[in-house]
Each structure stands twice: as structure tokens, then as C-alpha cells.
Amino acid sequence: MTRLSDFDALSFDCYGTLIDWETGLLTALRPLSERSRVPDDELLEAYGVIELEIERENPGLVYSQLLEKVHARLCDRLGVERDDIEAAKLGASIGDWPAFPDSVEALRYLKQHFKLVILSNVDRMSFAGSNRRLGVEFDHIFTAEDIGSYKPDLRNFEYLVTELGESGIPKDKLLHTAQSLFHDHVPANQMGIASAWIDRRHDKTGGGATVVPEPLPHYDFRFVSLGELADAHRAEQD
């Protein structure tokens, strides 16, 4: 039976897993929501589809700038006028998105037992704001800006495995820890990387701002929060 303590490193998706990106997005998109009168769930679902489209079209574009394009296309899809100021505010909002309540304490505990790694569809500058909120020093930070592509592109996971391998962490000692089944668990399966699903939307219906894959991928662990993962590791030490 696989145990959390079998691993030496945890690689994290950040937004949706450590940072409450849906709350952050809805706050930044509130002016558009009010203009379009679209319910939050529909707005998030439309956002998720459009973000994926634009990431595929612009794999080398810095994430904050990519969000401006997402905003423009979202306006078009919802039938409202584009607003460049609103779009710029969305792109600049990433560092303001809140951490989940359990993230900081759980990361501090996990830091004592694992190497902590970020693998995120974001740019370095935006992540710096989020990193301050998370209150821990990550051992490695790999962003879409560094890699030149966005998850679920396998290049991101190949980069992760290569970089960690060079630092002495083999693939079989890595546990990828993420909320998004589509962006993270599907490619982790394809790469043969063990994974833990942080099911942040366990009490909600639908996929929210994350596309739901068909079929659903395999995952080695499921927790509803990062705090629950940390508690499970503590229990293994008893």
C-alpha cells in the first residue's frame, strides 16, 4: 500500500490547490458579472473553457497578459462590450487572490518532511505575490513562463521530472499534489507520476473554472484539503 511517507517531494499546482483562485477570479470579474448578469457558476465555467483555448493559442504568453485576452473573449461570449481597464485589472489581480485557510499551516508542516515544489500555469511576478501569502520557501518554483507552455502540456511535466532528477529527486519519489484533474492528474498519469487529488470542490457541483476530463484520471490519494493531507501524514508517523 502506498503511503505519503514513501515520497521525498511534493509538487503542487498553486491556483485552485493552495490559492483560492475561484474566489479571486470572481472578485476580479465582479464588474463583468454585474454587466452580463451571468451567475457565478456559469461565469466560472465559461472562463475555464476560454482560458484553455487561449493557453493553447498562446503557449509563450505571460499569464497576466493572457488573462487580459481571456477577459476580452469572455466579454464576446457573454455578449457585453469589451473593457480594457477591467481586463488589465484581472491580469494584475493574481497576487491578491487569497490562500485557502488551511494552506499556510499545512505547508509549514509539510516543509519539515518533504521538498516542496511549485508547478504552475502562471508567471514569476504574479506568483511572487501568492508566495508571500503562502508563507513558506519552496525548494523549486517552475512556472509556465519558465517552460514556455501551459499545463496540461506534457512539456511542463517533463521539465518538472528533469529538473528534480538533476537535483537528486527521482520520479518515483515525487507526489504531484493538485486540485485540477484535467490540468494535473491526466498528464501525471501519462508521465507515470503518483498524484494526490486535493478535491477543493468536493461540496460543489460541476468543475467550476476547471475543465472536467473524460474519462476521469487515476489518483493515488484523495483529500478535501491540504490540511487533511498533512493530517494523514502525521497519522503515518504514529
pLDDT digits (tens, 9 = 90+) for 149-205: 999 999 999 999 999 999 999 999 999 999 999 999 999 999 999 999 999 999 999
Domain span(s) for CATH 1.10.150.750 in the chain: 22-96
State the Cα–Cα distance between residues 205 and 199, nearest whole angstrom. 12
Query: Under a CB-based contact definition with an 8 Å cutoff, are residues 220 and 175 in contact?
Result: yes
Rounded to two decimals, the pTM is 0.96
Catalytic residue among 13, 102, 184, 220: 13
Query: Under a CB-based contact definition with an 8 Å cutoff, are residues 200 and 179 in contact?
Result: yes
- Asked if pLDDT for residue 238 goes beyond 90, the answer is no
pLDDT digits (tens, 9 = 90+) for 105-155: 999 999 999 999 999 999 999 999 999 999 999 999 999 999 999 999 999
- Asked if pLDDT for residue 5 goes beyond 90, the answer is yes
Greatest Cα pair distance, the chain, in angstroms, is: 59
Other Cβ atoms closer than 10 A to 181: 23
Other Cβ atoms closer than 10 A to 225: 18
Domain span(s) for CATH 3.40.50.1000 in the chain: 4-20+98-237
When pLDDT is averaged across residues 34-43 and rounded to a whole number, the result is 96
pLDDT digits (tens, 9 = 90+) for 45-101: 999 999 999 999 999 999 999 999 999 999 999 999 999 999 999 999 999 999 999
Scan for cell 472536467, then name that residue.
212
pLDDT reported for residue 195: 98
pLDDT reported for residue 1: 81
And the C-alpha cell for 80? 457585453
Question: CATH 1.10.150.750: does it fit domain 22-96?
Answer: yes
Using CA atoms, how far residue 225 sits from 106, 117, 229, 230, in Å, is: 9, 18, 7, 9
Closest CA to 122 of 109, 138, 106: 138
Considering the segment(s) 4-20+98-237 as one domain, its CATH architecture is 3-Layer(aba) Sandwich (3.40)
And the C-alpha cell for 158? 517533463
State the Cα–Cα distance between residues 77 and 49, nearest whole angstrom. 11
Our CA angle for 52, 129, 107, nearest 5°, is 90
Judge whether 96 counts as a catalytic residue.
Answer: no
Per the document, the length of the chain is: 238
